[in-house]
Amino acid sequence: MIQLIDSFGRKIEYLRVSVTDRCDFRCFYCIPKGFKGFIESDNRLTLEEFVRLIRIFSELGVSKFRLTGGEPLVRKDIADMVQQIAVLPGVDDLSMSTNASHLAEHAEVLKKAGVSRINVSLDTLKPDVFREITQSELQPVLDGLMAAKKAGLHPIKINMVVMKDLNVDEIGNMVDFCLEHGFTLRFIETMPVGTAGQDAVDRYVSLDAIWKDLEQRFEMEPARMTGAGPAKYLKLVGKRLKIGFITPISQHFCEDCNRVRLSSEGTLYLCLGQQDKLEFRPLLRQGLTDEELKAAISEAIQRKPEKHEFNDNPDQVGRVMSVTGG
């Protein structure tokens, strides 16, 4: 069986696809204020190019795919895209990261098309704090979440970027909310990706302290989770709530990294925290065959860096987070 193994012996089996770098939100840690440098339409991959590349990756042993962005649900053809990807024989797991603002209209379609799991960004349950973080409104997101639950999307994971003087006091409320609705809760540390991420570093909270605090407040046990990736999980004893911790800064997990990222202009980024890349768009448009593209991917995977340098070199990644999708 064909496998992609990098020069550090890591098996690459997961591709995150930023299907657009555009978004209807402006989370201050993701897209810089007044940002105008979005990818131009001629430079974006077409639906056919995305689906072709995903098929080629699946034929190289990559079986997990996550559609992200930017906001995937702002694409008008997202339902078509999901349907075309879900039926590819090598795609075992198709998931999506979304801000959920348009999830109420799409939840049923996503479920029917075969999106197995969704991650929803939700940093706060307070409308005013939500507005401060995203420049947008909370209620459509809550409506989207309820629609997703009703449509039977499962598991629904809530991603909460924990930030000093902003939402760190809402951890208890978020635990109750997720417990009530059967959602999984995941805490994330702010990362210095792009100028917005670098500016948000002064909001950084180490999740170590949150973990210890939760262990004191609740009876917890270690837990396992499908598609857990780098998150470490705790579970409330006797309850169904699982809580994940994604700690790229305080405890990096690069030695187990199994993923690469494709941007909507067709650039493959080999590490979220480094610049190494392969530009597919010219290769696709020069008419390379599937076999030639596979050879280019295999060669690029050998260049996957050992680790990010968020701590030692925090200004290294200038690209906006929505280009690579987190």
Taking the C-alpha atoms of residue 147 and residue 100, their distance in angstroms, rounded to an integer, is 10
Token pair in block for residue 38: 């979005």
Taking the C-alpha atoms of residue 31 and residue 237, their distance in angstroms, rounded to an integer, is 38
Nearer to ligand SAM, 151 or 293 (CB): 151
CA distances for 187 relative to 65, 105, 199, angstroms = 22, 27, 19
CA distances for 168 relative to 79, 148, 203, 214, angstroms = 35, 26, 10, 12
Residue numbers of the site for ligand SF4 (CB under 6 A)?
23, 25-27, 30-31, 69-71, 99, 121, 134, 321-322
Q: How far is the CB of 193 from ligand SAM (least distance, A)?
A: 5
Q: Which stretch binds ligand SAM (CB under 6 A): 22-30, 56-64, 277-285, 311-319?
A: 22-30
As to burial, measured by CB atoms within 10 angstroms (0-12 exposed, 13-18 middle, 19+ buried), residue 69 is buried
Token pair in block for residue 309: 């340098």
Nearer to ligand SAM, 122 or 301 (CB): 122
Which of the residues 267 through 326 are near ligand SAM (CB under 6 A)?
Answer: 321-322, 325-326
Counting contacts by CB under 6 A, is residue 161 touching ligand SAM? yes
Which of the residues 189 through 208 are near ligand SAM (CB under 6 A)?
Answer: 190-191, 193, 197, 200
Q: How far is the CB of 53 from ligand SF4 (least distance, A)?
A: 21
Q: Work out the angle at residue 260's Cα, subtended by the Cα atoms of residues 258 and 261, and round it to the nearest 5 degrees.
A: 145
Q: CB–CB of 82/47 below 8 Å?
A: no
Taking the C-alpha atoms of residue 290 and residue 284, their distance in angstroms, rounded to an integer, is 9
Buried b (16+ CB within 10 A) or exposed e, 209-243: ebbeebeeebebeebebeeeebbbbbbbeeeebbb
Q: Which residue type does 304 have?
A: K
Counting contacts by CB under 6 A, is residue 30 touching ligand SAM? yes
184 contact choice in ligand SF4, ligand SAM, none (CB below 5 to 8 Å, kind-dependent)? none
Counting contacts by CB under 6 A, is residue 104 touching ligand SAM? no
144 contact choice in ligand SAM, ligand SF4, none (CB below 5 to 8 Å, kind-dependent)? none
Nearer to ligand SAM, 178 or 301 (CB): 178
Q: CB–CB of 197/32 below 8 Å?
A: no
Nearer to ligand SF4, 187 or 211 (CB): 187
Counting contacts by CB under 6 A, is residue 247 touching ligand SAM? no
Which of the residues 108 through 127 are near ligand SAM (CB under 6 A)?
Answer: 121
161 contact choice in ligand SAM, ligand SF4, none (CB below 5 to 8 Å, kind-dependent)? ligand SAM
Nearer to ligand SAM, 10 or 203 (CB): 203
Sites of contact with ligand SAM (CB under 6 A): 23, 29-30, 68-69, 71, 97-99, 121, 159, 161, 188, 190-191, 193, 197, 200, 321-322, 325-326
